[in-house]
Amino acid sequence: MKLPRKLMLLGAGELGKEFVIAAQRLGNYVIAVDRYAHAPAMQVADASEVISMLSGDDLERVVAYHQPDFIVPEIEAIRTEKLLEFEARGITVIPTARATNYTMNRDRIRDLAHRELGLRTARYGYATTLEELVAISGAINFPQVVKPVMSSSGKGQSVVEGPQDVTKAWNYALAGSRGDSYKVIVEEFIRFDLEITLLTVRQWQGATLFCPPIGHRQERGDYQESWQPAALTAQQIAEAQAMARTVTDALGGAGVFGVEFFITADEVIFSELSPRPHDTGMVTLISQNLNEFELHLRAVLGLPIPQIELLGPAASAVILAEEAMDRVAFTGVAEALAQPGTDLRLFGKPVAHPLRRMGVALARGGDIAEARTKATQAAQKVQVVGV
């Protein structure tokens, strides 16, 4: 394949920003598209567009104008029917238009994994009204988890301890839903020992590759810290890889998939899948010879990936805003970077709101415990302040 290529990124957040940087290091041209101006990836892209990605007309306009070789979705809320049209015209959609259509909604990917492929998942059901949710919740033991079928970064997700919490969970799920979906999924609460992300690299030609498993901790359904490698047995890794290969082969295409699992003492349980680099995978910015964004780019462009090498125990910890701010700045950056083996990524989001992820601290250590401590301490030193 000749370079440069023209890539259109649909969704221009912090993950997209790192992908743009990886793409431009190999001389490619990137258009970053999002629903608001000055999004993180727009700040480093060659061109940008502000549209509603739920508008087929808006998508048609920007694709017709820029004529990209590749369309690379980074978020869930996209009018995916248009991606099928673009692919039919010869534009490569990553990983494929069909895969993107499947994975934009939790119900489709869960049904594919459980009903069609027979993977072990939590017991689950769907509801489109509060009355349906009440009925389904009664059929699944408490506690349980309720979340929108379309959302990101844990928005709208809550743990339901008993019948008295169902109405609150329904309202919270709708408030956190992205796009025009009013459907929620309710699933049994798995009492897991560990949650992991298995970054799975599917190539146009060649074997499916895997990064070492990434452990992560969540609050409010959103990741707070991640570390690599997660402490799994060889058997658990083999089971997770087999399931990840099964589901990504069913979806097809090329690129990085973030495949999430619950790990218990007895089982490896499929949880979710994102057909793109994963937020917990930001730890690879410091932990691997090729980070998840470079791996995604190479897979997209059909470039070789000779080796994925873990450089040592590493961790990430998020930097959150505490309140709403129209303009933001950061203090404590020098203090955070004073510790050897630490680094930061400040995303450049133009505004803040409570608990919005504004950056991430990265660290390497002699072992996972040391790496996690260093990353957490570095993140705590950085404060998001108003201007």
Residue 200 catalytic? no
Residue 280 catalytic? yes
3-state secondary structure of 143: coil
Taking alpha carbons only, the member of 14, 5, 24 closest to residue 71 is 5
Residue 279 catalytic? yes
Backbone φ, ψ for residue 113 (5° rounding): -65, -45
Q: How far apart, in whole angstroms, are the C-alpha atoms of residue 261 and residue 269?
A: 5
How far from 376 is each of 160, 173, 339, 344, 369, CA to CA, in Å?
29, 29, 12, 11, 11
Taking alpha carbons only, the member of 190, 207, 164 closest to residue 262 is 190
3-state secondary structure of 188: strand
Residue 154 catalytic? yes
Residue 260 catalytic? yes
Catalytic residue among 110, 178, 345, 357: 357
SS3 content of the chain, % helix, strand, coil (to 5): 35, 30, 35
Catalytic residue among 48, 151, 152, 197: 152
Catalytic residue among 13, 154, 258, 365: 154
Residue 43 falls in which region: left (phi positive, over 0), alpha (psi -120 to 50) or beta: alpha
Catalytic residue among 151, 197, 280, 316: 280
Residue 371 corresponds to which tokens in the numbers above? 């790496």
Residue 272 catalytic? yes
Give the ranges where 128-233 is alpha helix by DSSP (H): 130-139, 166-176
Catalytic residue among 87, 272, 343, 370: 272
* DSSP-assigned letters across all residues of 325-380: BSSEEEE-HHHHHTSTTEEEEE---S-B-TT-EEEEEEEE-SSHHHHHHHHHHHHH
Q: Which residues are catalytic?
A: 152, 154, 260, 272, 279-280, 357
